Chain A
Amino acid sequence: MGCPAKTSTRARHMTLRTKIKRNAYYDSVTLMLLSRELQNLEGVEDVLVGMGTDLNLDLARDLGLATSELEALTPNDLFIAAKIDESKTSMDVLESAFNDYLNKRAETDGDDDFQPSSLSSAIQSMPGANMVLVSIAGEYAAAEVDEALDAGLHVMLFSDNVSVEDELRLKQKAVEKGLLMMGPDCGTAIINGKPLCFANAVRRGKIGVVGASGTGTQEVTVQVHKLGEGLSQVIGTGGRDLKEQIGGLMMIQGFQSLIADPETDLIVLISKPPAPSVAEKIYQIAKTSPKPVVIDFIGGDRAAVEAAGAVPCISLEDAAQKAVRILRGEAYADFTGFSLPDEQIDRIIEREVAKLKPDQTELRALFTGGTLADEAMKLLGVHHDIYSNIPLSPEMAIENLPSGRGHICLDLGEDKFTRGRPHPMIDPQTRTEFFKSHVDGNTGVILVDVVLGFGSYHDPAGAVAESVREIRHRLAEQGKDVVVVASVCGTELDSQDLNKSIETLEAEGVIVLPSNAQAVRFTDRVLQRMKKGV
């Protein structure tokens, strides 16, 4: 900005030139900006662009830019007066820069919309707002949620690090006011057909879901969609809702609203096993529910669910299958198999296991979705000893893994792995690194989840495919290969596209199963087959 020092040594090479445009009006601000712009051109020592007003002509004289041509100007005439080095530039260059600048400015528009600086002014600036999505740092979140609830707005609280005391207080307030307070640490909801945070694009329909887990809820909605049905509302509660301290306040609130919702014909509840007192409250409501209720308390008490007149499930996929069958008035049973015929599954297993050497005996399950990892642990833990950061029993904690050898299943989204970096559903880097550090010549089978949808990385399948390519290349040097099993939690409506993601994985020889449960079950069979020897 501004003009360079006018030294006599430089002035020797400079020529004073003027360009006049008659009856061409521009406002003074535009012309000031233009002067500044032209000043930066190569070979320009000093320049003034202005209308021929007395003030501007005085200014031209003061700057030593006046020529006799300027004397005859009227305030309706535009002039460009400049000291230029004619070996480097010309007035024609200045004039075309002048025109370019004016044209460029006409095309540019302002950038973003106005952003109010506080919740209260946002409420003022958007009449009819009904939902507040909070993902600011946890220490500040409770105060904002409080304000939102006071203003009668529903809340989805994505932030974590909110105390149990705050959660309880806020949920009590929400219940009192008949509002949703989904969270803290709630990542998935679909309200009125609109996915919030981490959720998949699924069709609308008659099945309502209340979920205390993010990817668990995603998997159920995706499976419902795949089976041709749709979702009315998907309500999140946050992972602590069904603990003793919170008492399931939001699960109950959501459950009751779905019972009252004319668009919902069937209700699915998803959570890790609740505290007994909380489970009891939910069973009481289920008993009187006029609508069928399907419950997946992942690995929970089957008999208690049945006693409440609700339908228990053995997996997230099973929950979706049962919900759809009941909705359609069809008979249902636990789904323990595969979409493909068993013989075909066996053939694939034989083919895959044939690739392995006798010392390739271990599982590496690398999950980005927490509930999907949970489900894997529950299903695999029946037949195998699995070390994990979410172990089924304390002695199976990953820290206790003897000399690095054994089956491993990790939830890479857990705090320990995400410190200082994005969640692996958003940024695949964490899992890419675990592929490098945790897969070796003893690995026989790798199991992964690929979660699509809003909020997720734009190409999670591509990231896995790349890791698989690298690992096969590395193992090939030892004359080895590896079995890779995956499921894709997503639909063809997701921006990442289910079918494209499957193709990407299959192109790298990944066995893609249609659900997390089937992928885990397939892995289980592979492990059992491997025990028999290759």
Chain B
Amino acid sequence: MSVNDLFKQELKVINLGLKSFQNDLKSQGVTTVQVNWKPKAGGKKNMLNLLGRISKTKKL
């Protein structure tokens, strides 16, 4: 999707972070979804490492 396509669409926003930004968007009638964002795997290093290792498996 190019920037100029975006200009022709209804803005739909995914908000990661400050809830107040989403409230402002909501008050303007913008469709939004707030992400209950947490660091991946709760930021646990060993789990992130495990997930990282299986993100690259051999193709069949």
Contact = CB atoms under 8 A, between A and B. Distances in A.
Question: Do A and B touch each other in the complex, judged by CB within 8 A?
Answer: yes
Interface of A: 113, 115-119, 122-123, 125-126, 128-136, 140, 143-144, 148, 152-154, 158-159, 178-180, 191-192, 194-197, 232-233, 253-254, 257, 260-261, 263, 454-455
Pairs of residues from A and B, 7 with the lowest C-beta to C-beta distance, nearest first: A135-B17, A115-B36, A257-B3, A178-B2, A136-B17, A454-B24, A135-B18
A261 B17 contact: no
Contacts of A197: 21
B1 A179 contact: yes
A197 B21 CA distance: 6
Contact of A129 (B2, B33, B38): B33
Given A254-B3, A261-B7, A128 B21 contact: no
A233 B5 CA distance: 13
B14 A122 contact: yes
A263 B39 CA distance: 40
A119 B40 CA distance: 10
A194 B6 contact: no
Contact of B1 (A123, A125, A178, A196): A178
B15 to A, nearest CB: 5
Contacts of B28: 194-195
A134 to B, nearest CB: 5
Given A115-B33, A180-B6, A194-B30, A133 B17 contact: yes
Given A133-B21, A253-B3, A454-B24, A140 B39 contact: yes
Question: Chain A CB within 10 Å — which of B3, B17, B28 has the most?
Answer: B3
Interface residues of B, number: 32
Contacts of B20: 455
Contacts of A159: 17
28 contacts: A116-B36, A117-B35, A117-B37, A122-B16, A122-B35, A125-B33, A126-B31, A126-B33, A129-B13, A129-B14, A129-B33, A131-B6, A131-B12, A131-B14, A132-B14, A132-B15, A144-B16, A152-B1, A191-B11, A192-B7, A192-B9, A194-B28, A195-B28, A257-B2, A257-B4, A260-B4, A263-B7, A455-B20
A392 to B, nearest CB: 33
B18 A129 contact: no
B16 A132 contact: yes
A134 B37 CA distance: 10
Nearest to A208: B7
Interface of B: 1-4, 6-7, 9-18, 20-22, 24-25, 28, 30-31, 33-40
A135 B21 contact: yes
Nearest to B38: A117
A107 to B, nearest CB: 23
Contact of A132 (B13, B38, B40): B13
A128 B16 contact: no
A134 B9 contact: no
Question: Chain B CB within 10 Å — which of A133, A232, A233 has the most?
Answer: A133
Contact of A179 (B3, B7, B39): B3
Nearest to A152: B1
B34 to A, nearest CB: 5
A136 B37 contact: yes
Contact of B33 (A122, A130, A143, A263): A122
Given A117-B36, A154-B1, 14 more contacts: A116-B33, A116-B35, A117-B37, A122-B16, A129-B33, A130-B6, A130-B12, A135-B18, A136-B16, A191-B7, A192-B9, A233-B7, A260-B4, A263-B7
